[in-house]
């Protein structure tokens, strides 16, 4: 096996994470003790927002009215696809019951969480699709109350198109908040929100750290890092297509890695030669962001075979995985670690990010080795129940008491043996 790195990423700085943790911890502590006053203070200081936090119905309707009809049509197209896919996911989840032994009936039941907090990024870019992905999926899961937040722009608040997407997807409450303060407000149930049972949605490193710190009493979708993408390509792939697919994902952020794993030297050389020109063709600040990502985070890996390429890909466990190679069915059956898979040159991560339907909130930083992305399952608790007849209870009691005493748990044994008297 010969794996050759034609381009390798620079080591990540180690000190940045500790600074972020300290900042987020202070903010969460202040908001926990001071509540809405602290949130308003952070909103003004960090985002320049001094207006109302909770969006009124009138403001919501006015924002929706300002969205051009053609953009509304595009958002509705994406929403319909996301809705359709989420409904198909929900159809795979069902209650069940079984008679484990004669007289012992056990089962499982699906219960949606009572409230969800959906974070919609809105800093450098207006992430319309994230509003659709998170809120729509929670709605399909049956969550009774959904709060949505997104960073404001000074004097204007949340962009109209994001508000329209939130409204269309079914948000019950929209808050003019971003960052750590937005996450904390949903967690604590401030400004009319219900305290969130689960917090979902992508965000910057401060948002991700706030979710991580709050995890435990509150659920989260996943521990998220910078978005990442990997392309597997062979001699049949087109240099321009592969290069654009990598560059387009690099514009997410300077810390967002993109990787090419290929079995073709000529393709690798062509992509590395072409990437710079494609980046230069982007507008600012996109070009600067993508340039930094390509310089510091991009890797190009040359492999001897398809199997070797698959092994390399599985070791990275990318958030987004594109395959532009022969025998797509083989890749679908062989690959095991990815957030979402895009097969063939006619699809692209951009489709998945915006309109295709499957959720774009996906595991990053190798987490795809053990988890998938956001789905109706994340908003649903699979709980179990059991009941039994006297006959079943007698047998269970005898065996439970013996096992309990072997473990040294006498209280368990006596509670079990009480059932022998019934």
Whether cis (ω within 30° of 0) applies to the bond prior to 285 is yes
Give me the catalytic one of 79, 127, 319, 360: 319
d(CA 397, CA 415): 8
71 burial level (CB within 10 Å; 0-12, 13-18, 19+): middle
Residue among 200, 205, 244, 247 at smallest CA distance from 222 = 200
Task: Give the whole-angstrom CA distance, residue 257 versus residue 277.
Answer: 19
Burial grade of 246 (CB within 10 A; 0-12, 13-18, 19 or more): buried
List C-alpha distances in Å: 25 to 210, 213, 214: 8, 8, 10
Chain-centroid distance of CA 376 in Å reads 12
Specify whether the CB–CB gap between 268 and 302 falls below 8 A.
yes
Cα distance between residue 302 and residue 6, in whole Å = 7
Q: Does the annotation mark 320 as catalytic?
A: yes
| Residue 410: alpha-carbon gap to chain centroid | 45
SS3 141: helix
For the chain, the residue count is: 422
Number of H helices, E strands in the chain: 16, 14
On whether the CB atoms of residues 294 and 279 are closer than 8 A, the answer is yes
Respond yes or no: is residue 252 known to be catalytic: no
- What DSSP letter does each residue of 251-291 carry, written as one string? TT-TT--EEEEES-HHHHHHHHHHHHHHHHTSPTTHHHHHH
Q: Compute the distance between CA of residue 151 and CA of residue 162 in angstroms, rounded to an integer.
A: 10
Exactly one of 79, 127, 320, 360 is catalytic; which is it? Answer: 320
Q: Give catalytic residues, as residue numbers.
A: 319-320
């Amino acid at each position: 096996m010969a794996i050759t790195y034609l381009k390798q990423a620079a080591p990540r700085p180690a000190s940045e994470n500790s600074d972020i943790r300290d900042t987020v911890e202070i903010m969460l502590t202040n908001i926990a003790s001071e509540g809405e006053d602290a949130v308003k203070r952070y909103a003004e200081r960090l985002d320049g927002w001094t207006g109302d936090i909770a969006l009124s119905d009138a403001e919501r309707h006015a924002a929706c009215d300002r969205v051009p009809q053609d953009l509304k049509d595009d958002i509705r197209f994406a929403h319909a696809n996301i809705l359709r896919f989420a409904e198909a996911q929900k159809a795979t989840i069902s209650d069940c019951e079984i008679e484990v032994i004669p007289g012992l009936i056990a089962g499982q039941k699906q219960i949606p969480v009572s409230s969800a907090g959906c974070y919609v990024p809105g800093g450098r870019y207006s992430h319309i699709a994230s509003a659709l992905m998170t809120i729509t999926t929670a709605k399909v899961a049956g969550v009774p109350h959904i709060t949505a937040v997104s960073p404001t722009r000074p004097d204007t608040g949340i962009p109209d198109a994001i508000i329209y997407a939130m409204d269309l997807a079914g948000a019950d409450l929209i808050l003019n908040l971003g960052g750590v303060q937005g996450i904390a407000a949903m967690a604590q149930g401030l400004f009319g929100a219900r305290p969130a049972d689960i917090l979902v949605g992508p965000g910057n490193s401060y948002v991700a750290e706030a979710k991580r710190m709050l995890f435990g009493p509150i659920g989260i979708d996943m521990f998220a890092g910078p978005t990442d993408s990997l392309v597997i390509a062979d001699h049949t792939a087109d240099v321009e297509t592969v290069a654009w697919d990598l560059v387009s994902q690099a514009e997410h952020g300077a810390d967002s890695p993109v990787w090419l794993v290929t079995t073709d030297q000529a393709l690798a050389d062509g992509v590395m030669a072409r990437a710079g020109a494609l980046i230069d063709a982007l507008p600012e600040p996109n070009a600067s962001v993508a340039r930094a990502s390509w310089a510091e985070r991009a890797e190009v890996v040359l492999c001897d075979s398809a199997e070797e390429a698959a092994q390399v890909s599985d070791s990275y466990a990318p958030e987004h995985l594109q395959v532009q190679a022969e025998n797509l069915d083989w890749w679908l059956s062989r690959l095991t670690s990815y957030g979402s898979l895009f097969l063939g040159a006619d699809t692209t991560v951009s489709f998945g990010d915006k309109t295709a339907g499957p959720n774009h909130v996906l595991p990053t930083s190798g987490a795809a080795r053990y988890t998938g992305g956001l789905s109706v399952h994340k908003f649903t608790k699979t709980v179990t129940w059991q009941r039994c007849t006297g006959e079943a209870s007698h047998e269970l009691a005898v065996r439970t008491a013996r096992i309990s005493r072997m473990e040294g748990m006498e209280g368990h044994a006596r509670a079990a043996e009480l059932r022998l008297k019934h």
